[in-house]
Amino acid sequence: MDSTAKLLDLLASRKVKATFFLVGRNAAARPDLVRREQNEGHAVANHSYTHADLGRSSSGRIASELSKTQDAIRRATGVTPTLMRPPYGSTSAKVASVTKRMGLAQVLWTVDPLDWQIRDAKAVERRIVRATRPGHIVLMHDIHPTTVAAVPAILKRLSAKGYEFVTVPELYGKPLKPGRKYVER
């Protein structure tokens, strides 16, 4: 998670806020970083405890994965998330039912630079700048140093095009409905 701290430094220096979807076991291991994300004004959200494929999981496993992550984030920040992103974008009617019951809206993405696969900062930058349009949600993985290395150029190039960077709650400007799936505004 050293790359997360570096990303937080970059975002702070540019006064940019983001939404962090946290894997619960990582949040439990580094509550200091989770607290920092929250304290610096970023949105902190649920991404399951073990990065499980929720769309192929039983309702019990879905609830366990999400509950354990809710608990880890709440212990670190005192705040209970209202957003979740299913790993791999894998969702189902069961995921919708459990998230509705737990008060979590499902947030997916519009732009995937494949940074988890292509570990090349310039390629990540090009893919994001080329694909981003107003209202889009951009997926990035701060666990990859190459992704974090791409951030300054992405912010500079998209700012030059007039983009503002906001958290998912700011993008929608209203509470999102639990269980519902959101991809872009």
> Could you read off the pLDDT of 32-87 as tens digits, one per residue?
999 999 999 999 999 999 999 999 999 999 999 999 999 999 999 999 999 999 99
Q: Are 34 and 80 in contact (CB under 8 A)?
A: no
C-alpha–C-alpha distance, residues 177 and 179, integer Å: 6
Q: How is the chain split among helix, strand and coil, in percent rounded to 5?
A: 50, 10, 40
Return the DSSP state at 107. Answer: E
The per-residue pLDDT for range 115-155, each reduced to its tens digit, is: 999 999 999 999 999 999 999 999 999 999 999 999 999 99
CATH class, range 2-171: alpha beta
- Report in angstroms the alpha-carbon separations of 13 from 31, 130, 153, 155: 22, 24, 14, 12
- Rounded to 10 degrees, what is the CA torsion of 121, 89, 108, 75? -90
- Tell me what the mean pLDDT of segment 158-175 comes to: 97
Q: Where are the domains of the chain?
A: 2-171
pLDDT recorded at residue 1: 54
User: Cβ–Cβ contacts within 10 Å for residue 39, how many?
Assistant: 9
What number of helices (H) and strands (E) belong to the chain?
8, 5
C-alpha–C-alpha distance, residues 24 and 39, integer Å: 18
- Tell me what the mean pLDDT of segment 3-23 comes to: 97
**End-to-end alpha carbon distance in the chain:** 30
Is pLDDT of 185 > 90?
Answer: no
